């Protein structure tokens, strides 16, 4: 994540079509100053927050993060958003989720990553399943949006279930002492 990403992030956080599926972000207007402060804090604290960029155009299209990292129990929560509508439904979310899991399992040495999604966010749930997440629970009527209740789905994946990582480790040398 870089400080120049704040303007796009603020735009996404103020777009209800993007934030309602995410959760609490939809309930407050987010100013550019606040997002710049959050980005600066994430950089300063070396948080696990990453920009998602289209490699062809070098265009910022989203954000992914690992949060509530617990190094004792080797677990974390995952959050992701593809904020640019023209890049949605093109596989970027699946690839970015795989990269986050690769980082979580192969560099941070975590064992379990969990996330939450609203039941109406079928596109996200399908992407999470494609990567290997499994539903582990459902909180019925957890969120009231527009006069209708929606279930919250909890999903997780274990390190032993994760396949398809991008990280390429150097081969061990046969002559290493």
- Domain membership flag for residue 169: no
Whether 116 maps to a domain, the answer reads yes
User: Could you tell me if residue 173 is inside a domain?
Assistant: no
Query: Would residue 104 count as lying in a domain?
Result: yes
The answer to whether residue 141 is domain-embedded is yes
Query: Residue 9 and residue 32: Cα distance in Å, rounded?
Result: 8
Closest CA to 54 of 19, 87, 21: 87
Q: Which domain holds residue 90?
A: 3-161
Distance CA 99, CA 6 (A): 22
The pLDDT tens digits of the residues spanning 70-81 come to 999 999 999 999
Domain-embedded: residue 89: yes
CATH code of the domain in which 157 resides = 3.40.630.30
Q: How many domains are contained in the chain?
A: 1
User: pLDDT tens-digit profile of 5-27?
Assistant: 777 877 887 788 888 887 765 56
Could you give the residue numbers annotated as active site? 128
pTM: 0.84
């Amino acid at each position: 994540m870089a400080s120049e990403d704040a303007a796009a992030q603020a735009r996404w956080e103020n777009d209800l079509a993007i934030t309602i599926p995410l959760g609490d972000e939809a309930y407050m207007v987010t100013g550019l100053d606040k997002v710049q402060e959050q980005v600066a804090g994430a950089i300063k604290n070396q948080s696990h927050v990453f920009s998602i960029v289209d490699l062809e155009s070098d265009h910022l299209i989203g954000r992914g993060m690992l949060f509530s990292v617990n190094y004792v129990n080797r677990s974390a929560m995952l959050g992701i958003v593809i904020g640019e509508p023209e890049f949605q439904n093109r596989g970027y979310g699946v690839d970015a989720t795989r990269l986050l899991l690769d980082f979580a399992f192969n560099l941070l040495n975590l064992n379990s990553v969990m996330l939450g999604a609203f039941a109406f966010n079928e596109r996200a749930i399908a992407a999470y399943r494609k990567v290997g997440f499994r539903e582990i629970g459902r909180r019925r009527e957890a969120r009231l949006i527009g006069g209708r209740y929606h279930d919250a789905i909890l999903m997780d994946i274990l390190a032993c279930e994760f396949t398809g990582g991008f990280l390429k480790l150097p081969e061990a040398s046969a002559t290493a002492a």
